[in-house]
Chain A
Amino acid sequence: MRIVPFLISTLITLGLIFVLDNPIGEKVPMALGSFLSPQHGFWQNAEPVNHDFNDTLAIPQLKGKVEIYLDDRLVPHIFAENDEDLYAAQGYIHAKFRYFQMDLQTRAAAGRVSEIAGPAAVEFDRSQRRLGMVYAAERALEEMEKDPLTKRVYDAYTRGVNAYVTSLKPEEWPVEYKLLNIAPEPWSNLRTALLLKMMAKMLTGGTERDLGYTNARAIFTPEEFSRLYQIVPDSLRPIVPKGTPFAPPAVKPVIPASADTLYFNSRKTVAFQETDRPNPNNGSNNWVVAGSKTKSGAPILSNDPHLELSLPSIWYELQLTDPTGSTYGVSLPGSPYVIIGFNDHIAWGITNAQRDVKDYYEIRFKDHKKDAYWYKGEWTPTQLRIEEIKVKGAAPVVDTVAYTVFGPVMYESSFPNGTTQHENLAVRWTAHDPSNEGLTFYKLNRAKNYREYVEAISHFTCPGQNFVFASKTGDIAIWQQGRFPARWPKQGLFVMPGTDDSYRWQGFIPQNENPHILNPSRGFLQSANQRPVDDTYPYFIPGFYITPRGISIEQKLEKMSQIGVEDMQKLLSDYDNVTGRALQPLFLKFTEQASLSEDAKRFRELLKNWDGQSGPDSRGQTVYQVWMDSLKTTVWNDELARITPQAPAPDEQVLTELLLKDTASVFYDDVTTPKREGIRDVLAIALEKAVPTLLEAEKNGRLEWAKYKNPSIFHLLKNSVPSFARRGLPVGGYGNIINAVTVSHGPSWRMIVHLTEETEAYGVYPAGQSGNPGSPYYDNFIDSWVRGEMYKLLVMKPGDVTHERIKWKITLSPAE
Chain B
Amino acid sequence: MNESNGRSPYPLLNNRRTRIDLMKTLIAIIFTAILSLVLGRFLPWWSIAIAAFAISLFFQQSGISAFLAGFLGIFGAWGFYAFWIDRANESILSQRVAGLLPLDGNAILLILLTGVIGGIVGGMAALSANLLVRPKGKGRDYENYYRRKFEIR
Contact = CB atoms under 8 A, between A and B. Distances in A.
Interface of A: 1-2, 5-6, 9-10, 12-13, 16-17, 20-21, 28, 32-34, 36-50, 175, 179, 721-724, 773-776, 778
B1 interface: no
A14 to B, nearest CB: 8
Contacts of B88: 46, 48-50
B49 interface: yes
Interface in B51-83: 78, 81-82
B127 A9 contact: yes
B67 to A, nearest CB: 9
Contact of B93 (A10, A28, A45): A45
Given A46-B92, A179-B100, 6 more contacts: A16-B124, A33-B117, A43-B94, A46-B93, A723-B100, A774-B92
Question: Majority SS of interface residues in chain B?
Answer: helix
Given A13-B121, A16-B124, A32-B117, A43 B82 contact: yes
Contacts of B40: 37, 39-40
6 contacts: A13-B128, A33-B45, A37-B45, A37-B118, A723-B105, A774-B93
B100 A721 contact: yes
B147 interface: no
List the 6 closest A-B pairs by CB distance, nearest first. A723-B99, A774-B93, A37-B45, A46-B89, A48-B88, A38-B81
Contacts of A175: 93, 97
Given A13-B49, A47-B89, A48-B88, A42 B124 contact: no
B93 A1 contact: no
Contacts of B97: 42, 175, 723
Contact of A9 (B46, B81, B131, B133): B131
Contact of B121 (A2, A10, A33, A45): A33
Nearest to A9: B128
Contacts of A724: 96, 99
Which size class do B's interface residues fall under?
35 or more
B121 A20 contact: yes
B41 A39 contact: yes
A1 B132 contact: yes
A49 B121 contact: no
Contacts of B135: 1
A17 B120 CA distance: 10
Contacts of A38: 78, 81-82, 85, 114
B143 interface: no
A228 to B, nearest CB: 46
Contacts of A45: 93
Contacts of B95: 723
Contacts of B120: 16
B135 to A, nearest CB: 8
B127 A46 contact: no
A40 B77 CA distance: 13
Contacts of A28: 100
Contact of B46 (A6, A33, A46, A776): A33
Nearest to B67: A9
Nearest to B94: A46
Interface string B26-55: 000000000001001100111011000000
B93 to A, nearest CB: 3
A36 B93 contact: no
Contacts of A21: 45-46
A10 B113 CA distance: 23
A43 B85 contact: yes
B114 A36 contact: yes
Contacts of B113: 36
A613 B56 CA distance: 71
B136 interface: yes
Contacts of A6: 128, 131-132
Given A38-B81, A38-B82, A723-B99, A775 B136 contact: no
A49 B90 CA distance: 7
A1 B46 contact: no
Interface string B110-130: 000110011011001101100
Given A2-B134, A175-B93, A46 B86 contact: yes
B97 to A, nearest CB: 5
B117 A20 contact: yes
A17 B121 contact: yes
A773 B121 CA distance: 28
Nearest to A13: B124
Contacts of A46: 85-86, 88-89, 92-94
Given A1-B134, A42-B97, A722-B99, A48 B128 contact: no
Contacts of B85: 38, 43-44, 46
A36 B78 contact: yes
B92 A17 contact: no
A1 B133 contact: yes
B72 to A, nearest CB: 16
A723 B128 CA distance: 39
Contacts of B131: 1-2, 5-6, 9
Contacts of B121: 13, 16-17, 20, 33
Nearest to B37: A39
A41 B96 contact: no
A40 B44 contact: yes
Which of A16, A33, A39 has the largest count of B CB atoms less than 10 A from its CB?
A: A39
B117 to A, nearest CB: 5
A512 B95 CA distance: 55
A38 B40 CA distance: 9
Contacts of B99: 722-724
A39 to B, nearest CB: 4
B54 to A, nearest CB: 13
A200 B118 CA distance: 48
A722 B124 CA distance: 35
Contacts of B89: 46-49, 774
A2 B43 CA distance: 29
Given A38-B78, A722-B99, A43 B124 contact: no
Which of A32, A42, A721, A776 has the largest count of B CB atoms less than 10 A from its CB?
A: A42
A20 B81 CA distance: 19
Nearest to B90: A49
Contact of B45 (A5, A13, A34, A778): A34
B74 to A, nearest CB: 10
A175 B133 CA distance: 40
Contacts of B96: 721, 723-724, 773-774
Contacts of A775: 92
Nearest to A32: B117
A695 to B, nearest CB: 31
B92 A49 contact: yes
Nearest to B98: A723
Nearest to B95: A723
Given A1-B134, A13-B49, A34 B44 contact: yes
Contacts of A774: 89, 92-93, 96
Contacts of B94: 43, 46
A179 B94 CA distance: 13
A416 to B, nearest CB: 32
B124 A36 contact: no
A722 B101 CA distance: 11
Which of B40, B48, B96 has the largest count of A CB atoms less than 10 A from its CB?
A: B96
A326 B98 CA distance: 43
Contacts of B128: 6, 9-10, 13
Contacts of A776: 90, 92
A180 to B, nearest CB: 12
Which of A21, A43, A48 has the largest count of B CB atoms less than 10 A from its CB?
A: A43
A9 B37 contact: no
Contacts of B105: 723
Contacts of B136: 1-2
A270 to B, nearest CB: 42
A36 B127 CA distance: 22
Contact of A42 (B90, B93, B133, B134): B93
Contacts of A16: 120-121, 124
A774 B89 CA distance: 8
